[in-house]
Structure 1
Amino acid sequence: MSRPRRFQRAAVLGSGADLVDRASRALINWDMHRRAGLVVVTEGPATVGRTVTLRPRTGPGAWLRIAAPCEVTSVIDSPTARGFTYRALPGHPEDGWESFLVERDPVTDVVRLRIEAESAHATLLAKWGAPVARCEQNRLTRRYLAALVDRPGAPRPEGDHRPV
């Protein structure tokens, strides 16, 4: 296995409790993943134990017909934060986990999407194509962050993908 890579990213989505509801519903129901350009194969919303297979619609992953099976390992549902974490299952090109959290600051009313992940290349193809695999992971993370922004296609400056 290659050396794990860990990262955190965030984007300001907008403000307000109604935005938390809309964005977290889109997250839990896999709409964020779909808006980011993935085919989502699952039987329902993100719940602990739920499996999902993600396939890219564009880019190298689509050309190679890469499938990424995952299992939801935890769900957060509080008045100020909602989201989930999933882990890669056998057959996924990476070994690791990814966490998505929509949160609202109760003082400023600002709503953010936070993404945190740790992964290492798990397949020979991912190891051989490591630079392409990392670029694809970064591209997908940018698309996740843009997918829930209140103004479509306009991530706020915090979403410029520097570590949080």
Structure 2
Amino acid sequence: MSRSRRLEREAPLGAGADLFERASRALVTWEMHRRAGLVVVVDGPATVGRTVTLRPRTGPGAWLRITAPCEVTAVIDRPDARGFTYRTLPGHPERGWETFLVRRDPATDEVRLLIEAESAHARLTAALGGPVVRAEQERITRRYLAALVES
């Protein structure tokens, strides 16, 4: 239906083991998504095979009552990095995947959030609303990045 788009964003969160633990916990328990303004329907933390449905509380996605079902496909749990990847499921306006990773540099103690995604429109309505859909994705990504600064 449309060409695939790649997104990579990274933001510093601060430094320290405590921050790494708090930010990692907020990520895998879906708190980052909630702080970013999404309604999160899920029955536990991010684990492989877990499904989650996300809905924007504000903005065009909320007005259009968009729901975004996803399934966690990978979990990263290392001393210096924690996070997960999910893929979109049928009913999502896009098809693709997104990775969220909190990393702590052992040399500098700096903690950063990395978001990577690749997606394409899965529905005709998403393709027709291309600029609005892309703007909404960017808005939510910025909110994700800001959400963990609060950790």
TM-score (norm 1): 0.91
TM superposition shift of 1:79: 0.4
What secondary structure, in the 3-state scheme, does the structure 2 residue paired with 1:148 have? Answer: helix
- Indicate the residue corresponding to 2:4 in structure 1: 4
Q: Deviations over 1:48-102 (max 9, x none)?
A: 0000000000011101110000000000000000000000000000000000000
What secondary structure, in the 3-state scheme, does the structure 2 residue paired with 1:44 have? Answer: coil
Identity of matched residues, %: 77
- Indicate the residue corresponding to 1:69 in structure 2: 69
- Indicate the residue corresponding to 1:98 in structure 2: 98
1:60 aligns with 2:53: no
- Indicate the residue corresponding to 1:112 in structure 2: 112
Instruction: Give the residue type in structure 1 aligned to 2:77.
Output: D
Instruction: Give the residue type in structure 1 aligned to 2:45.
Output: P
1:123 aligns with 2:123: yes
Q: Which sections of structure 1, spanning at least 5 residues, go unmatched? A: 153-164
CA distance in 1, matches of 2:47, 2:12: 25
Q: 1:25-44 to 2 correspondence within 5 Å?
A: 25-44=25-44
Instruction: Give the residue type in structure 2 aligned to 1:10.
Output: E
CA distance in 2, matches of 1:103, 1:112: 5
What secondary structure, in the 3-state scheme, does the structure 1 residue paired with 2:149 have? Answer: coil
- Indicate the residue corresponding to 2:137 in structure 1: 137
Instruction: Give the residue type in structure 2 aligned to 1:67.
Output: T
TM superposition shift of 1:131: 0.3
Instruction: Give the residue type in structure 2 aligned to 1:28.
Output: V
TM-score (norm 2): 0.98
Q: Deviations over 1:13-62 (max 9, x none)?
A: 00001111000000000000000000000100000000000000001110
Instruction: Give the residue type in structure 2 aligned to 1:139.
Output: R
CA distance in 2, matches of 1:64, 1:141: 19
How many residue pairs match? The answer is 151
TM superposition shift of 1:124: 1.2
TM superposition shift of 1:144: 0.2
Aligned structure 1 segments of 4 or more residues deviating by more than 6 angstroms: none
CA distance in 2, matches of 1:61, 1:81: 31
Q: Deviations over 1:101-129 (max 9, x none)?
A: 00000001100000000000111110110
CA distance in 1, matches of 2:37, 2:7: 21
